[in-house]
Amino acid sequence: MTANQLLQRIRDVACRKPDVVPHGWLSSDQFAAKWKTSVYASRRALAIGVRGGVVERKRFLVKTKRSTVLVSHFRAVETKRGK
């Protein structure tokens, strides 16, 4: 193994690879566009939903223009009927 190959393997291990966001999970920016509200209003509504237990939050690594960052994504919690 050459020095360049070793360096490439180290970079592959050290880099933060973006996650694949599953279907149904949306960011607050995507909810704002869907609801036609501001990002602030969508974040506030989603935070209230998380506290109330009707929305689930999970953070995914997402590639941006400059780097890979953790971004919160949300989806509705499935409720079971007939309790």
User: Model confidence over 57-81: pLDDT tens digits?
Assistant: 999 999 888 888 899 999 999 876 6
Across the range 36-52, mean pLDDT stands at: 97
Given a cut of 80, whether residue 27 has pLDDT beyond it is yes
Both tokens assigned to 81 = 């009927």
Computed over every residue of the chain, the mean pLDDT equals 90
The pLDDT assigned to 75 comes to 96
Both tokens assigned to 11 = 């970079």
Confidence of residue 83 (pLDDT cuts 50, 70, 90): low
The pLDDT assigned to 39 comes to 97
Both tokens assigned to 16 = 């933060």
Question: 23's torsion region: left (phi>0), alpha (psi -120 to 50) or beta?
Answer: beta
